[in-house]
Amino acid sequence: MTMASRSFSNPARRHGQATRRCRLLIAGALMTAAGSLLLTRQSGWTFLGSRRSAVQTTLLPVFTSAVAPVVFPETSRAEELVPPLEKAIDRFANKIQLGMDWLYFELKPALVGKNMEGTKKCLGSAALGAYISPFESEIQFPVSQLVEENPDSDEQGWVVADKQMTTAFANIKERVDSEDWPGALEEWKATTASLGKIMKGVNDLKEKEVFTLPIEGYERRQELFVQARREKLADRNAKANMMGFR
């Protein structure tokens, strides 16, 4: 009997060989199934990843725009000026600035020096030939024009500031009449502060320095004021001479 015939004729050996073949077939099948499952999961994750990227690409701009702060176009304050106010500023700005100069460089020294004659002349005194105070012609009337032409005067506090300025200046006269010089200086401060508020309001609307404000360092304008007064006097004399030749 050959070896091959003996092996096949032995039942136990045949059973063991069959068992080993079965185990090999099962192991191979399991490996094949595992590989297929892994491939399927990888494909699935790739698909889900691509879907997630697509969703993010589609929705991200939508959510970003939804939570982003709304940005409104900036409006220049200069564009908000109504033409009548613009014209009034152009017409009276220089006169008002010289009016503030007058308060600083003529009226204030007279009050500080307790100069009754000089103060009366500034405030307006018929006895001294000053029937109208420069306050009325250089400040009060021009400022009233700005207040009148500004449709937002109430909201911006110009109306109140104008009234306070006029009242404070009238109080200067009363203080001087009673020779209350410290009180007169306090009213002078109130007058310049109220006028300064309107001047600053114009600067804010125009977004530039139309007026030099009455703050520290304002004394540097004194030379400009003196020069302007000289030019005004020269112009007045020239017109008087022309009238005389006629």
Each residue's pLDDT tens digit, 186-211? 999 999 999 999 999 999 999 999 99
Burial of 240 (C-beta count, 10 Å sphere; 0-12/13-18/19+): exposed
Residue 125 pLDDT grade (very low, low, confident, very high; cuts 50, 70, 90):
confident
Mean pLDDT for 101-108 is: 96
C-alpha separations of 42 from 30, 50, 245 in Å: 18, 12, 110
Task: Look at 51 and 112; give whichever has higher pLDDT.
Answer: 112
Average pLDDT, the chain: 76
H helices, E strands: number in the chain: 11, 0
> Which range, of 51-65, 96-110, 125-139, averages the lowest pLDDT?
51-65
Task: Look at 29 and 94; give whichever has higher pLDDT.
Answer: 94
What is the model's pLDDT at position 174?
95
What is the model's pLDDT at position 170?
95
Query: Among the ranges 23-27, 72-76, 90-94, which has the highest mean pLDDT value?
Result: 90-94
